[in-house]
Amino acid sequence: MTIPFSEVDERGALSCVLQAGLESQPEVDELLAQLKPTLFWDSRHQVILDAMRTLRHQRHAVDLVTVSRTLMGRNGEAKGALALLPELMEVAPSWSHFPSYLEELQRQALRRWTLEKRERLTNLAMQPNLSLDTLRDEFGDLAEKADRIGRPRRSQIQAVSDHELAAYTPAESLGLVGDTDVQDRKSTRLNSSHRT
């Protein structure tokens, strides 16, 4: 049986992260927040992702030089991963193509996970004392886990333009704190006694 994975999309997603690193480390953080090791089948790609995450965790920039240096200090799979790095910069046309690579990574990861569950279900079916409770325990979270694989974790911070900010109207249920006022849940403006 062929394991479902896409080498092009795995490399494309990593290429997007490296390209984003040339412009914006916050954008690197945004992309890395959406990538999990389980989205990658090729262990070399997992090693590169780990190096990128380690660099950002240590507050270092992610770029071709820093990732290469991080991999040089490692053994095993890192050597194969290091050999891939130079060509990774050229895989994606630009880092704005990241969503299409991510979508395919999620699809392939969901297929791999489903095949693993199928194997587990087959093994359970061979047990003479199989019960409904056993199946519930094993597969009760099936829909939730499948949904998590298919949805990226997004950063809670969103950049907006001055124009978007000026046009923003908060929902009545929100309470906002500003330089000189507080808005309560009924959208009644209360004057602040001092600036914070």
For the segment 61-77, the average pLDDT, to the nearest whole number, is 88
**CA dihedral defined by 147, 149, 150, 155, rounded to 10 degrees?**
100
Given a cut of 80, is residue 81 above it in pLDDT?
A: yes
For the segment 56-81, the average pLDDT, to the nearest whole number, is 89
In sequence order, the 6+-apart residues with CB closer than 8 A to the CB of 8 are: 91
Indicate the range of 64-78, 122-136, 149-163, 178-192 predicted with least confidence.
Answer: 178-192
Give the chain's mean pLDDT.
80
What percent of the chain is predicted at pLDDT more than 70? 71
How buried is 112 (Cβ within 10 angstroms: 0-12 exposed, 13-18 middle, 19+ buried)? middle
Given a cut of 90, is residue 78 above it in pLDDT?
A: no
| CB of 42 closer than 8 Å to CB of 77 | no
Given a cut of 70, is residue 26 above it in pLDDT?
A: yes
pLDDT 10s digits, 83-109: 888 899 889 999 999 999 999 999 999
Given a cut of 70, is residue 110 above it in pLDDT?
A: yes
